[in-house]
Amino acid sequence: MSLLVVGSVAFDAVETPFGKRDKMLGGSASHFSISASFFTDVRVVGVVGGDFSREEEEVFIRHGVDTSDLERIPEGKTFLWRGRYDYDLNTAHTLDTQLNVFADFKPKLSEAARRSRLVFLGNIQPDLQREVREQVRGAELVALDTMNLWIEVARESLLEAIKSVDVVIINDAEARQLTAEPNLIRAAREILTWGPKALIVKRGEYGAALITSSTYFAIPAYPLESVFDPTGAGDTFAGGFMGYLASQEKLDEAAMRRAMIFGSVMASFNVEEFGTERVQRLTHEEINERFRAFKQMTHFEEIPFERAVSAAAKNKDEG
């Protein structure tokens, strides 16, 4: 198995200016694993309650996601998140978070899970992220995501988790909140001093940037005319990013740059419909087509620049 994810497997109730859903499959690990499944084999670590039906589990199975490390508590209830977006779709307003079965979750990874080459510590209580990190000591690359709630209520544990990973994938507001530094570049530099080798800052409709101690690489978001529901865009980005990396032998900077594009491609599909609906129906051809569109969108020629000689100066020279 090449890619492991721990994170929330949830029911989401979401309202956007364009519609609402009272109960749909959500959670960081769900969005991540469905997205990553287009690139590699994925195994999900998490917990669900007795209300998690066969129909929901089928979504994972249809995408070849290994759910043998997904624990079931028949007498418990699945994690629930209720959120709302206003016209600024970059900002999610959390109305309710019910940890339910995650409150007492103690992840115990199977032997196969412990041997994963790449690991994503998806958005969930940082103590759980650390417990999983402890069990995958041999992983080649470990990445982490988080959110404002954990920065506020579990800061110390989150800092410990961040110290133990290679890549941090967060949004711009979280980077600022985490460091109390309004300038994003300075915030990034500070996070890199804590241990991670790379930081990815997601900036919603403005794209994403990959920052290391020596490089800066930024890409725009795909120019969509209608964004329906941004829920899970960050996890879907991370799924494309990590999924593509897992399919590569060398995890060098060139691979990371291509992975950034695949992350953005996947996120751009995710926001076109509610929850995981659009990504569930994706084809490889659609992914490749949008990858090519990104290449075209950001391509430019390098030319040796010289100041053009003005016509007057030219005439003078010739005369």
The yes or no reply on residue 123 touching ligand AMP (CB under 6 A) is yes
Q: Min. distance of Cβ 155 from ligand AMP in angstroms?
A: 14
268 in contact with ligand AMP (CB under 6 A): no
Nearest CA to 93 among 183, 24, 169, 17? Answer: 17
Closest CA to 242 of 120, 64, 115, 116: 120
How many other β-carbons are positioned within 10 Å of the β-carbon of residue 300? 5
> Do residues 109 and 121 make contact, with C-beta atoms less than 8 angstroms apart?
no
**Residue 78 binding ligand AMP, by CB under 6 A:** no
β-bridge mates for residue 21, sequence order: 14
In the set 90, 97, 110, 212, which binds ligand AMP (CB under 6 A)? 97
* Nearest residue to 7 via CA among 64, 70, 54, 51: 70
Query: Does residue 232 belong to the site contacting ligand AMP (CB under 6 A)?
Result: yes
Q: What is the DSSP letter of 6?
A: E
Closer residue to ligand AMP, CB minimum distance, 232 or 243: 232
Q: Whole-number minimum distance, CB 62 to ligand AMP, in Å? A: 19
Strand order in the sheet with 19-26: 19-26, 10-16, 79-85, 92-98
Q: Find the binder of ligand AMP among 211, 233, 245, 279 (CB under 6 A).
A: 233
- Residues 12-41 touching ligand AMP, rule: CB under 6 A, are 12, 26-28, 31
Residue 129 contacts ligand AMP per CB under 6 A: no
Please report, for residues 40, 64, 217, 228, the alpha-carbon distance to residue 292 in angstroms, rounded to integers and kept in the order given.
20, 26, 18, 23
Among 52, 60, 81, 222, contact with ligand AMP (rule: CB under 6 A): 81
Q: State the number of binding residues for ligand AMP (CB under 6 A).
A: 18
Per CB under 6 A, 240 contacts ligand AMP:
no
| Residues at the interface with ligand AMP (CB under 6 A) | 8, 10, 12, 26-28, 31, 81, 97, 123-124, 147, 149, 231-235
